[in-house]
Amino acid sequence: MAGGGSPKKGSQITWKKGDDVPYAALTNTFEAIESTTKRLQITADLTDFFKRVLQLSPHNLVACIYLCLNRVGPEYEGKELGIGESILIKAIAEATARSAASIKSELAEKGDLGDIAQSSKGKQKSLFKPAALTVPSVFKTLKEISAIMGTSSQQKKIALIKKMLSACQGNEPKFLIRSLEGKLRIGVAERTVLPALANATVAMNPDFAKWSTAKREQELEEAASVIKQVYSELPTYDEIVPALLEKGTKGLAEACKLRPGVPLKPMLAHPTKAISEVLDRFEDMSFTCEYKYDGERAQIHMLEDGTVMIYSRNSENLSAKYPDVIERLHKIPKEGVKSFVLDGECVAWDREKKCILPFQVLSTRKRKDVQTADIQVQVCIFGFDLIYLNGEALTKEPLIKRRELLHTSFKEVEGEFAFAKYMDGNTVEEIQTFLDEAVAGNCEGLMVKTLEKEASYEPSKRSRNWLKVKKDYLSGAGDSLDLVVMGGYLGKGKRTGWYGGYLLACWDDDREEYQSICKIGTGFSEEQLAEHAKFFKAHIIDRPRPYYRYTDTPNLRPDVWFEPVQVWEVKAADLSISPVHQAAIGLVDSSKGISLRFPRFIRVRDDKSPEQATSATQVAEFYRNQKINSAKGGKDEDDD
Ligand code: ATP
């Protein structure tokens, strides 16, 4: 992680009770956090900061949290910062009386625009001292900037950034610029913010000092679990924080419940290698097998006023992509259904032949500004779960009950909405036959789910109560990986003018970096090669990001680096320990990473953000799970 020493203890900024939190108090916290990679220390620093905010300025807590997460609102609202380099350079130049050219050349040398803004400000002598920035004023301006669109938007953004920069002091320019870039990268994510929030809230209890260590630990654990659970069902701090302030953690779950209009984080499944593994897992439990449809996850919400929204796996609002689905959804609820949240898969559908089409067809559908009359690819929704019905969350109910409610509350409409096909038989033969049928019907395989025991809906969890059995696992090909494109190699021969290959990476959550995992050059059609070349042209960067981990050898170094913007699904023959690639470094081998052998491009994963790519931990898990066959000795360590 980049430079910056921890501010000295005495440099902690204080402010008066009831005042707004000075921005410097937050940036000093960032500075302290940046100087460590230890998760416990990061959580402790953040807890300490939240405690002070709770004591002195609880009205600023929401803004503080969003700034820590480098966001301007709930994730599902999709408003992002990510201001372009050229706008920031102009703003820094204007605010510090430097030329844009000199900043550009310094950037080529140093690589971090935040550091450059800070040193440029430091050298500047100002005649008068502008009023210090506060957390709410910075948050408000960032929100404003993220909403600017249309004509002269660039000038408007520059003017607002310049104004903030002019008032910046100390380490503020560094973190302000990084926030604007959308790359704060201090190691603070939801999994740090939520426990820190829980710790700070519990520590505010007037009896805290009197509690025994055991009591404290119990209270902290309970609070962390409640906050995490509530957040997974209603992922918006705008509602959780005020409720927390008013009711404390004990009353939080009652005050903040999942509801239509706010997408919850979907439940995810674990891969399995064989049907026998499924039977081992669910030995004495009732379970069901469902077709695993190959399309796009669709979380469908209907509010009491009849408004319908569709959200992706990633909580992105897909309503503009599926106006046709939105228009006809009113047909599917039976009488008496006033509001719901339904989990399903949106699949391409052949209206003439009345059958499912492969995912590749769905992927050709336009994503934005879709007009119903122009739609070429028709879709059908396959509902597999019901999470909310008429004012009641169903997450705690077992699947058997949720499924019954799904079937009794909705009706199928041919080619538009159907229930996921299921089979409750539990012998290997029955499952195998059902799997064969699923695959013959253009499905990816099966989802096997617990029905009664341990069968609640677990938002945001990759649960062992949902197992996926894909046809590929059984043929030995293993699960696919979703990887981020870091760079490209210029094509030769037939591929001249395009990229002949790409460098791919997994995402390491702990280190917050992309780690190279393989070079890929196969699996692409000519159209795809052309499309990728066109797409990445707009995302070329001068040098690798500081958070790209790769080995800088002539053979591996790409000709062109890209911003981390796209995720590709990739299949490989197997995974091996690598002398050059860096994926999952330290997890399986202390100094070597893991790489993919014979990777093949499958598809672009538009529904995953780069940080939702396969994680380093998953790569390590895939590696450990694959059967290491000594007869294939020499597999490890033989790649470039
Ligand atoms: P993951 O979501 O596990 O990271 P992924 O996005 O690559 O991986 P898959 O491995 O294909 O997804 O498996 C899970 C996905 O399968 C779900 O997110 C959902 O979109 C889809 N799916 C299709 N049919 C079903 C079903 N019957 N039950 C649950 N999910 C289903």
pLDDT at 628: 40
pLDDT confidence bin for 477, thresholds 50/70/90: low
Res 396: pLDDT: 95
- pLDDT of 472 reads 67
Q: Which pLDDT value is given to residue 476?
A: 54
Q: Of the listed 157, 174, 292, 468, which one is catalytic? A: 292
Average pLDDT of the segment spanning 267-295 = 91
Q: What is the Cα–Cα distance from 486 to 602, expressed in whole angstroms?
A: 17
Interval 45-49 mean pLDDT: 96
Res 624: pLDDT: 87
pLDDT band at 8; cut points 50, 70, 90: very low
Please give the sequence-ordered ranges of beta strands (E in DSSP) within 329-442, or none if there are none: 340-350, 355-356, 379-389, 392-393, 417-419, 422-423
Question: Predicted confidence band at 6 (pLDDT cuts at 50, 70, 90)?
Answer: very low
pLDDT at 116 over 80: yes
pLDDT-based confidence at residue 295 (cuts at 50, 70, 90): very high
Q: Examine the pLDDT at 9 and tell me if it is beyond 50.
A: no
pLDDT, average across residues 315-330: 93
Backbone torsions φ then ψ of 200, nearest 5 degrees? -65, -40
Which residue puts its alpha carbon closest to atom 2 of ligand 1? 268
The pLDDT-based confidence of 494 (bands split at 50, 70, 90) is confident
pLDDT band at 4, cuts 50/70/90? Answer: very low
Confidence of residue 5 (pLDDT cuts 50, 70, 90): very low
With a 6 Å cutoff on the Cβ, whether 384 touches ligand 1 is: yes
Supply the pLDDT for residue 574.
Answer: 84
Contact 546, 499 (CB under 8 A): no
pLDDT of residue 109: 81
CA 269 to ligand 1 center in whole angstroms: 7
Residue having the nearest C-alpha atom to atom 24 of ligand 1: 292
Q: What torsion do the CA atoms of 381, 387, 389, 393 make, to the nearest 10 degrees?
A: -170
Which atom of ligand 1 is nearest to 271's Cα? 10
What's the number of CA atoms in the CB half-sphere (13 Å) around residue 418?
Answer: 18
**pLDDT per residue over 303-319, tens digit each?**
999 999 999 998 999 99
- Across the chain, mean pLDDT equals 90
With a 6 Å cutoff on the Cβ, whether 313 touches ligand 1 is yes
Residue 237 has pLDDT above 60, yes or no: yes
Q: What percent of the chain has pLDDT over 70?
A: 95
Which is higher by pLDDT, 182 or 201? 201
Report how far ligand 1's centroid is from the alpha carbon of 512 (Å).
Answer: 25
Q: Kindly give, in sequence order, each residue whose CB lies less than 8 Å from that of residue 132, ignoring residues fewer than 6 positions away.
A: 22, 23, 24, 167, 169
- Residue 474 predicted with pLDDT over 70: no
Task: Judge if the beta carbon of residue 269 lies within 6 A of ligand 1.
Answer: yes
What are the pLDDT digits (tens) for 575-632? 999 989 999 999 999 899 999 988 999 999 988 989 999 999 999 988 987 754 333 3
* Amino acid letter, residue 88: L
Question: How close is the Cα of 167 to the center of ligand 1, in Å?
Answer: 48
Residue 78 has pLDDT above 70, yes or no: yes
Token readout for 440 is 């013959």
Task: Report the SS3 class of residue 592.
Answer: coil
* Highest mean predicted confidence (pLDDT) among 9-23, 83-97, 99-113: 83-97
pLDDT at 256: 96
Nearest CA to ligand 1 atom 17: 297
pLDDT band per the 50, 70, 90 thresholds, residue 636 = very low
CA–centroid distance, 115 to ligand 1, in Å, is 42
Q: Assess whether the C-beta atom of 420 lies below 6 angstroms from ligand 1.
A: yes
Label residue 478 by pLDDT band (50, 70, 90): low
Residue 292: active-site member: yes
Distance 299 CA to ligand 1 centre (A): 12
Q: Which of 297, 439, 449, 461 to probe ligand 1 with, by most ligand atoms within 8 A of CB? A: 297
Percentage of residues of the chain with pLDDT beyond 90: 72
Contact status, residue 321 vs residue 614, Cβ threshold 8 Å:
no
Q: Is the CB of 468 under 6 A from ligand 1?
A: yes
**Which of 280, 232, 274 shows the shortest CA–CA distance to 253?**
232
pLDDT, residue 326, reads: 95
